[in-house]
Amino acid sequence: MPTIAVFNQKGGVGKTTTSLNLAAALALLRRNPVGIDLDPQGHFSLACGLQRVSDERSMSAFFARGTPLQSLLQSLPSGLRLIPAALSLSKIDALHGHDPQIAGRLKAGLCVFPGTGVPVLIDCCPMLSVLTLNALVAAERVLIPVSADYLSLQGVHRLSAALDVLEKKLGRRFERRVVVTRFDARRRIAFDVYDRLQQHFGAEVCNTRIAENVSLAESPLHGKHIFEFAPQSPGARDYRALAQELLAAGFFDSVTTAPQPIGVAA
Ligand SMILES: Nc1ncnc2c1ncn2[C@@H]1O[C@H](COP(=O)(O)OP(=O)(O)O)[C@@H](O)[C@H]1O
Ligand SMILES: [Mg+2]
């Protein structure tokens, strides 16, 4: 199955908003995606309306007790399918960080679930932890939300360098896409950030920009994705367009060829 890590080590750039609403857009397009909340803060779960997630029904159970991912999956009334997070996920680093096999656990779990062609979107926490390493080892592709401000722009270069190092260690390339979020067309800095990203990352930058939109900020309070909360909003328009752009680019297709080793020309 195509597994996508939604990652940026900077917080507040729109990882969770993107995981939620991109998964919702894919669900509406009948791609039946699975979301995985891999952030101990559990914002993805909260934004889906899951207020109190017990350890036994969360990703903590997968890492701590080996509970199969399938039995942790919740099908929500909104049409989304999610494996939620609980705060105890923050202990995984301390409890299992010494285990040399730990980084491959999620990849192994996803080998038997959820099946061919089902896109899996992993909402990562904002640091390079054991959890994030699990997401990146499991993922063939990385979606990097970057908010349209100067500090976010600086952070993405560091992130890109960190991914380069990881690629060398894993001996394969990640297909990457950068999506600009919180784009405020009234601000020159927003266009500046977008242009600079295009200069550096070229075609890896999505054409679709996610506008700063109050409905996107409000919908998690109601435990709803944007297509339930404000289907006519600019936020809904943008996440629908992002899903369509990425689908057209094959970003959610199954990876059929062996990942290309580093150093081998295409
Ligand atoms: N396009 C947007 N317009 C308005 N608010 C946004 C937008 N994207 C994200 N937000 C808000 O910004 C904050 C951080 O977003 P979030 O997705 O939680 O970032 P991250 O997961 O990277 O920490 C949240 O309060 C969210 O509602
Ligand atoms: Mg988040």
Determine which residue's CA is closest to atom 14 belonging to ligand 1: 12
Q: Which CATH class, in words, describes the domain spanning 3-248?
A: alpha beta
Q: How far apart are CA 157 and CA 134, in angstroms?
A: 22
Which of 213, 247, 209 lies closest to 231 in space, CA to CA?
A: 213
Determine which residue's CA is closest to atom 9 belonging to ligand 1: 14
Residues forming a β-bridge with 74:
82
With 50 as the cut, is the pLDDT of residue 246 above it?
yes
Q: How far apart are CA 145 and CA 162, in angstroms?
A: 16
The answer to whether the CB of 17 is under 6 A from ligand 1 is yes
Q: How far apart are CA 261 and CA 266, in angstroms?
A: 10
Determine which residue's CA is closest to atom 11 belonging to ligand 1: 217
Q: How far apart are CA 180 and CA 35, in angstroms?
A: 21
Which residue among 17, 121, 146, 208 is best mutated to probe the pocket of ligand 1, counting the most ligand atoms within 8 A of its Cβ?
Answer: 17
Global pTM reads 0.95
Which of 39, 26, 9, 44 lies closest to 127 in space, CA to CA?
A: 9
Ligand nearest to the CA of 125: 2
Residue 261's pLDDT band, with cuts at 50, 70 and 90, is low
pLDDT tens track for 207-223: 999 999 999 999 999 99
Ligand 2 center from residue 157 Cα (angstroms): 20
Residues forming a β-bridge with 178:
144, 205
Cβ atoms of residues 35 and 19 within 8 Å: yes
With b meaning 16 or more CB within 10 Å and e meaning fewer, what string describes 162-196? ebeebbeeeeebbbbbbbbbbbeeeeeebeebbee
With 80 as the cut, is the pLDDT of residue 43 above it?
yes
The answer to whether the CB of 261 is under 6 A from ligand 1 is no
Ligand 1 center from residue 191 Cα (angstroms): 19
**Residues within 5 Å of ion ligand 2, judged at the Cβ atom:** 15-16, 43
With 80 as the cut, is the pLDDT of residue 243 above it?
yes
Instruction: Compute the radius of gyration of the chain from its Cα atoms.
Output: 17
